């Protein structure tokens, strides 16, 4: 009998930003730091809290709570209106950092995502070191803290990212899976909500260790098709792949400088190196994409930033120099981050649309 091939070990990272909206508000206005802060609607308009910082959480303020009730719990709470474009831009910047390590990314929302780094070449393939570097770069480049979980599957990676929040990293290695899962309450299992947890409790199942005494058949009889999933999860088994949902819309290269670039001339001097790296990445890009509009991004020393793109412009040094000059003029301040990039046309998507509308 031939030996069965050994399945390669998956390495999954779940990255979750810490109180994302509030973090961006505190970053962009340092005066908001160290005080209870929430992002949401006004209390006099039946507003709801979208998120809050940890100072507010200490008073019992939580997401989805009415703003009126939040102010009763914390009279000093400052509630600011959400700035969704700022949050989307920060999310795009975080996604760009992810793509430096892997293209297998499953965004769950603006502030969290799964990454499959099983075949990543960085740090000799160490998922732990990749997660550490992602956290370091997001803080250095964006001044946002994130928590990360590293595990052999999505179910465990998501639990791990919450284990040492905020600003934490928790790793579950393959040989730790069984012991770790045995300590979990069943409410931590993916797909187990309040109703299912209560139904399990009536069967004497409170923790995952309790599930280990049930056979797969018995669980299937009691809970239908979900029973088999319960049997797997109680043993730390989750074969769901990281689902890449979106095609790329752009390709860019950015650099955050240890010392601010003092003027436009210093910025222009950085362009050749940035463009060389960007063009190298373009050469490795899937042929189903075609480069389109070039763009530059400038983040000034005070974290204000601007992005400028131009249809029909070239991707040569002179064209990017003109774009950078115009973008820099919008702020005229020392620069902490420069980025160059290009929007991408998805030729595969264009082909699919042509087929869809063909007679």
Residues in the chain: 359
Percent of the chain with pLDDT over 90: 63
pLDDT at 348 over 80: no
For residue 312, count other CB atoms closer than 10 A to its CB: 8
Q: Which residues of 34-70 are buried (b: 16+ CB within 10 A; e: fewer)?
A: eebbbbbbebeeebbbbbbbebbbebebeeebebeeb
Partners of 13 in the beta sheet?
Answer: 115, 150
The pLDDT of 292-296, averaged and rounded, is: 93
- Give the residue among 111, 58, 44 at the shortest CA–CA distance from 84: 111
For residue 27, count other CB atoms closer than 10 A to its CB: 17
Q: What pLDDT was estimated at residue 247?
A: 66
pLDDT, tens digit, 9 for 90 and up, residues 265-280: 999 999 999 999 999 8
Query: Are the beta carbons of 150 and 13 closer than 8 angstroms?
Result: yes
The CATH label, of 3.40.50.1220, 3.30.70.270, 2.40.50.100, 2.60.200.30, for the domain at 12-18+85-174 is: 3.30.70.270
Instruction: Give me the phi and psi of 43, to 5 degrees please.
Output: -65, -35
25-83, CATH topology level: MutS, DNA mismatch repair protein, domain I (3.40.1170)
The pLDDT of 295-310, averaged and rounded, is: 89
Q: Would you state the structure tokens that stand for residue 142, as one six-digit string?
A: 């964006």
| Architecture category of domain 250-352 in CATH | 2-Layer Sandwich (3.30)
The pLDDT of 127-133, averaged and rounded, is: 97
Confidence of residue 357 (pLDDT cuts 50, 70, 90): very low
Average pLDDT, the chain: 89
Contacts of 322 (CB under 8 A, 6+ apart): 313
Confidence of residue 49 (pLDDT cuts 50, 70, 90): very high
pLDDT, tens digit, 9 for 90 and up, residues 150-167: 999 999 999 999 999 999
Q: Taking each helix axis from N to C terminus, what angle separates 20-28 and 84-99, rounded to the nearest 10 degrees?
A: 100
Residues making up the binding site for Mg(2+): 16, 111
**Residue 340 host element (H or E):** strand 335-346
Q: What pLDDT was estimated at residue 193?
A: 80
CATH superfamily of 176-233: 5' to 3' exonuclease, C-terminal subdomain (1.10.150.20)
In the set 25, 55, 93, 112, the catalytic residue is 112
Residues making up the binding site: 16, 111
For residues 340 and 275, give the distance between their C-alpha atoms in angstroms, rounded to a whole number: 7
Q: Report domain extents, the chain.
A: 12-18+85-174, 25-83, 176-233, 250-352
Is 93 a residue of the active site?
A: no
């Amino acid at each position: 009998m031939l030996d069965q091939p050994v399945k390669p070990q998956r390495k999954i990272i779940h990255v979750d930003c810490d109180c994302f909206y509030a973090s961006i508000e505190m970053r962009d206005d340092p005066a908001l730091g160290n005080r209870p802060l929430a992002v949401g609607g006004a209390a006099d308009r039946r507003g709801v809290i979208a998120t809050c910082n940890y100072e507010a959480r200490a008073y019992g303020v939580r997401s989805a709570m009415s703003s009126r009730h939040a102010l009763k719990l914390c009279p000093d709470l400052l509630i600011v209106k959400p700035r969704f474009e700022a949050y989307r831009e920060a999310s795009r910047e975080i996604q760009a950092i992810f793509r430096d390590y892997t293209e297998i990314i499953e965004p769950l929302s603006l502030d969290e995502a799964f990454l499959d780094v099983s075949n990543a070449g960085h740090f000799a393939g160490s998922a732990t070191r990749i997660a550490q570097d992602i956290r370091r770069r997001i803080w250095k480049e964006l001044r946002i803290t994130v928590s990360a979980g590293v595990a052999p599957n999505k179910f465990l990676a998501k639990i791990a990212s919450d284990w040492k929040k905020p600003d934490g990293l928790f790793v579950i290695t393959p040989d730790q899976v069984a012991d770790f899962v045995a300590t979990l309450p069943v409410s931590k299992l993916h797909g187990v909500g309040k109703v299912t947890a209560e139904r399990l409790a009536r069967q004497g199942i409170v923790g995952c260790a309790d599930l280990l005494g049930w056979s797969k058949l018995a669980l299937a009889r009691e809970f239908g098709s979900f029973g088999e999933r319960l049997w797997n999860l109680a043993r730390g088994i989750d074969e769901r792949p990281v689902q890449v949902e979106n095609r790329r819309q752009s390709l860019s290269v950015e650099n955050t400088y240890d010392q601010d670039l003092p003027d436009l001339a210093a910025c222009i001097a950085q362009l050749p190196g940035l463009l060389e790296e960007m063009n190298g990445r373009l050469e490795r890009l899937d042929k189903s994409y075609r480069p389109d509009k070039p763009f530059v991004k400038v983040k000034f020393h005070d974290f204000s930033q601007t992005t400028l793109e131009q249809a029909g412009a070239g991707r040569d040094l002179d064209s990017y120099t003109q774009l950078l000059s115009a973008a820099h003029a919008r702020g005229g301040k020392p620069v902490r981050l420069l980025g160059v990039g290009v929007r991408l046309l998805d030729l595969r998507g264009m082909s699919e649309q042509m087929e869809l509308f063909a007679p």
